[in-house]
Structure 1
Amino acid sequence: MMFDCVVIGGGVVGSAIAYGLVSHLDSVLMIDGRDSDPRAAQANFGLVWYQSKGVGMPAYQRLSRLAVEEWRSFSREIEETGGIPIEFAGQGGLTFCLGDQELEARQMILSRLAG
């Protein structure tokens, strides 16, 4: 069997790439490993947030903010297409500061990003 494209990995990134390709190609095959295989998706799935991302990297900060904004419409599209509720809340992340020194460091990072 022949395919226009083969995507290796069915995690968050591989699935997103395959999803985007199916509207442009006739046939896309996605190959994934076992559930026990180490993968980035295990650590990152659902972390659609931009708080404190991109300190010292304005382009990455802008890209993170745009990704969060686009995720809202993308999650609605996935819900409508697949009939599976995504239940995206978009309420941000949580950072624990263990002591005054960590809190002050965190405040400095957030001030740099806001500025």
Structure 2
Amino acid sequence: MKSANIIIVGGGIIGISLAYGLAERGEKVIVLDNGKGVNNASRGNFGLVWVQGKGAGMPRYAQWTMEAVQAWQTFSEKLGEKNRICN
């Protein structure tokens, strides 16, 4: 892609999520990142979506966490089909 109407700086979880959502809506998006590997925190940890004890005493947070866990498999498969990056 040589041109885009949106440029996102940073390929961490926020940048990639924004790019993915915008591209799904038909936007032309370019993501700029330092490209120094997979050791950045959000890249290295996003696949570890899991239920944590943070939800104790916070029912809405616990519900949101469970929704994220349940949605991850479908999202991972969809993303993997498009980009061949998730298994």
- What is the TM-score when the length of structure 1 is the normalising length? 0.58
Count of residue pairs brought into register by the alignment: 85
Unaligned runs of 5+ in 2: none
Unaligned runs of 5+ in 1: 87-115
Sequence identity percentage: 36
Moved over 6 A (4+): none
Distance 1:35 1:84, change over 3 A: closer
1:30 and 2:17 aligned? no
Distance 1:64 1:27, change over 3 A: same
Offset, 1:68 = 0.9
Deviations 1:15-37 (CA, angstroms, capped at 9, x unpaired): 1221111021431121112427x
Aligned-residue Cα RMSD (Å) equals: 2.6
Rounded Cα–Cα distance in structure 2 between residues aligned with 1:76 and 1:2 = 28
Determine the structure 2 residue equivalent to 1:48.
Answer: 49
**Structure with bigger gyration radius:** 1
- What is the TM-score when the length of structure 2 is the normalising length? 0.72
